[in-house]
Structure 1
């Protein structure tokens, strides 16, 4: 056991604190004992580095925490004054969304039906790094003009209309659009126009627009699910209020801002590092991945503008994928209906009321968790239930839909964004058996679009999802209202044989 773990002060069955100094509030650690032991010394050290960084007022480690880019993946970092690109990452507003259909579960019991659905989706939604709509025959066409509006307006009525996305879905987004630091989309438009003055940059930007409506590689996925609503009367009532349908088919998606957001993030990392070097400033803990800016500085405002454009792209990317998935299901089941349950991010910085003041809340691999009655939900359809929290586990063990409890104040109104890796990609590829992985999925009646399921994305590469959920419930952060059982999976891989 590492010495950092021995320094933890256990405060409950799934909570602990880690002191970083007498004058600072400690790091909040969420997780059962076995989960806390899974973090390892480097994860704890990144959390300590983040807590000691300038302007930071709180850090939370969630149960899925593991080593990340400067700050751990699975952490929350709060500051009243500073913004940190590292705890947002290069996939700006990587997110989850859930589409609920009125299709009964038994309609997709046959493998042949699932294969038809996979083929129909594959004709509309590409997977993999660098892929875009030009690679599939039934994608939506996105030219430079529409891409510009997506980046600067997000899910505006005009953008939704142009892409054939139901306008009501914008109300089911954590944020349907993002603006520049001055609160306008005009400033985003001016920023993007300035970027496009260079012909090479403009060509690259417009090539990234064409990735709209696609999944990336790595841990991005689409999954057809069977919804299993909780049998607890209170949880079941909430599930029904937010639109979940027991024993019906839903579709869960995980992706973000694709190459467009990646380029914006990398440009900001380079610019901020260069600014530090020119000013002779020291990086926190000597780590350039913890580069920062004061939010109201010119550098901070530029970062927030670029992040907003990446976030707008991610929002519309998800909404378009869901529209295309519903269209694909209708190829096989004409006339079925579907409604977006929720769209929620886990790589973002937002202004939120925390500890009695408005602060910048950075969530890296962490998802917002506002309970019923929270001030930010007043006037929304989730005011009396709390908004849905979408927690992916893995195809074999399922995923979860939760709602926050008042106890989420402990974690800056945040929970983990999934299970979290317990093996690096390299270790998973080296140590996990391909035969065992593929057989495991078949044994659980799960099919995929991959000839060979990626070993680094196998269920055993991730932490025990049951233990992760026990941590969330044990810390009184949220309650489960439904479990999602995967029936087929779309990943970055070659199409499966018939």
Structure 2
């Protein structure tokens, strides 16, 4: 692993931001290239960067070389940056702001906003909100289409968690599945109407995706996805859930559309980039017009993936309710990584992309999680026009995954979790609570975006991993 190059190594070498970096890193994973020393890899990439035309027919490097060459002369020019509002700018890394600045220069952009948990992503930054004119940008929606939060609140006391910790851990292990290739046995799978949707046969690209959806329904992804038991504290007597002030047992889940959403994102991003030639710094923001066949296909596929993600959460909560032998008193669910047809305050119809941002229209309920050792917040949107009726989708990363793995140790993280009384099943160092921003600081930066109705404090957490 010592000779493994990272994206920053290529950037320092002079690689432009964009597709060439990903293609080059992917090529270096090939067996005969992995054997090269780091010095030899950098030398090879330096030659490629210097003379990309010489590599256009090279078996290994043709695609990377093509990505390094200037875009065709017919490419779409960026325009003057439109104004947008940043919430909590002092907590946002420059890379995320730079990405948002680029997005605001697209000719189809109408309006935008950046949330206080924002950090660098592909195309639109995580925490970016972008309104466009009759155009949808697959990478402004994101790879995990329709990723969402879902909360169930039960009429069980706080002491239930302490008294039945081992039983609740077993309930999570028995009734949840995480990560690639992990699903329930055929006899344990639950049916759902979304699996019979016409889109699986009407859209050519989706014809071979139904079988995988059937296998993965009711499961969760890897990374920062979780299912957890915790304490719900209702602090607003006027909450729309109809819950009296007090403390309850809660189940909170975070996951998305699994392999279905990822394949849709990758396929339609490729189509968008074929027809929408943008400068290198903006190429991940290629769009599809909603008046085109490809745009309509993506829109239908995106909505299918969002409904599939919701079905997964529905089944997770159904299984856990059955195992608990209880009916929830209330449920709250919201999603991000999606695009909506909406109207701005001036009446213009737009396509609003929320990539890692929570819908916060007036009166709309949502959940904004913190970390394993910090509370999440149950919120009611205030519909602020400057935020495009949006709020953060979490605390946001303080450390990259690579940095967290390099700087944190297993024993250190377990000790930290124990100090907060948190039991973790699975999980990795890249998802350690120390890798996230302070959720209270983030919430303080968006007081004009949402009202807080209560909190959720994690106690037993299940993530991907042993």
Structure 1 length normalisation: TM-score? 0.74
Residues 136-158 of structure 1 show CA distances to partners (whole Å, capped at 9, x for unaligned) of: x8x4345xxx6xx41565xxxxx
Query: How far, CA to CA, are the matches of 2:357 and 2:189 in structure 1?
Result: 31
Cα distance, 1:86–1:196 mapped onto 2, change above 3 Å:
closer
DSSP-derived class of the 1:326 partner: helix
Cα distance, 1:284–1:321 mapped onto 2, change above 3 Å:
farther
> How much does 1:247 deviate?
1.1
Query: How far, CA to CA, are the matches of 2:169 and 2:183 in structure 1?
Result: 17
In structure 1, the gaps of 5 or more residues are 1-20, 154-185, 331-335, 372-385
Query: How far, CA to CA, are the matches of 1:352 and 1:98 in structure 2?
Result: 26
1:217 is the counterpart of 2:274: no
Cα distance, 1:239–1:141 mapped onto 2, change above 3 Å:
closer
Contact 1:117 1:328 in 2 (8 A): no
State the partner residue of 2:368: 391
Runs of 4+ in 1 over 3 A off after TM superposition: 21-25, 194-197, 284-287
State the partner residue of 1:492: 464
Contact 1:76 1:364 in 2 (8 A): yes
DSSP-derived class of the 2:131 partner: strand
1:368 is the counterpart of 2:359: yes
> How much does 1:86 deviate?
0.8
In structure 2, the gaps of 5 or more residues are 1-77
CA RMSD of aligned residues (A): 2.2
1:140 is the counterpart of 2:189: yes
Contact 2:241 2:330 in 1 (8 A): no
Contact 1:441 1:447 in 2 (8 A): yes
2:83 to 23, 26, 43: 26
State the partner residue of 1:52: 105
Cα distance, 1:240–1:360 mapped onto 2, change above 3 Å:
closer
Query: How far, CA to CA, are the matches of 2:353 and 2:393 in structure 1?
Result: 13
1:304 is the counterpart of 2:299: yes
State the partner residue of 2:340: 350
Residues 242-268 of structure 1 show CA distances to partners (whole Å, capped at 9, x for unaligned) of: x47621101111001011111122121
Cα distance, 1:52–1:107 mapped onto 2, change above 3 Å:
same
Cα distance, 1:196–1:446 mapped onto 2, change above 3 Å:
closer
DSSP-derived class of the 1:64 partner: strand
Query: How far, CA to CA, are the matches of 1:448 and 1:442 in structure 2?
Result: 9
> How much does 1:54 deviate?
2.3
Cα distance, 1:287–1:363 mapped onto 2, change above 3 Å:
same
> How much does 1:27 deviate?
1.9
Contact 2:96 2:118 in 1 (8 A): yes
Structure 2 length normalisation: TM-score? 0.79
2:451 to 468, 476, 479: 479
Contact 2:374 2:457 in 1 (8 A): yes
Contact 1:100 1:244 in 2 (8 A): no
Contact 2:190 2:315 in 1 (8 A): no
State the partner residue of 2:429: 455
2:440 to 466, 488, 498: 466
> How much does 1:124 deviate?
2.2
Residues 181-230 of structure 1 show CA distances to partners (whole Å, capped at 9, x for unaligned) of: xxxxx5x35424x3466xxxx3x540232111011100000111211122
Contact 1:104 1:249 in 2 (8 A): yes
2:202 to 191, 195, 207: 191
Written as runs of structure 1 = structure 2, the 5 A alignment for 1:63-212 is 63-110=116-163, 113-134=164-185, 139-142=188-191, 149-151=193-195, 153=197, 188=199, 190-192=201-203, 194-195=204-205, 202=208, 205-212=210-217
State the partner residue of 1:181: none
Greater RCO, CA 8 A, separation 6+: 1
DSSP-derived class of the 2:139 partner: coil
Contact 2:413 2:432 in 1 (8 A): yes
1:325 to 315, 320, 328: 320
Contact 2:81 2:101 in 1 (8 A): no
Query: How far, CA to CA, are the matches of 1:189 and 1:223 in structure 2?
Result: 32
State the partner residue of 1:177: none
Contact 2:82 2:105 in 1 (8 A): no
Query: How far, CA to CA, are the matches of 2:284 and 2:432 in structure 1?
Result: 28
Residues 381-414 of structure 1 show CA distances to partners (whole Å, capped at 9, x for unaligned) of: xxxxx121200001211111111225x2220000
State the partner residue of 1:246: 246
State the partner residue of 2:114: 61
Query: How far, CA to CA, are the matches of 1:25 and 1:267 in structure 2?
Result: 29
Contact 1:62 1:415 in 2 (8 A): yes
Cα distance, 1:73–1:206 mapped onto 2, change above 3 Å:
same
Written as runs of structure 1 = structure 2, the 5 A alignment for 1:252-271 is 252-271=252-271
Contact 1:152 1:309 in 2 (8 A): no
Query: How far, CA to CA, are the matches of 1:51 and 1:255 in structure 2?
Result: 29
How many residue pairs were aligned? 388
1:291 is the counterpart of 2:286: yes
Query: How far, CA to CA, are the matches of 1:131 and 1:283 in structure 2?
Result: 38
State the partner residue of 2:385: 409
Query: How far, CA to CA, are the matches of 1:296 and 1:317 in structure 2?
Result: 31
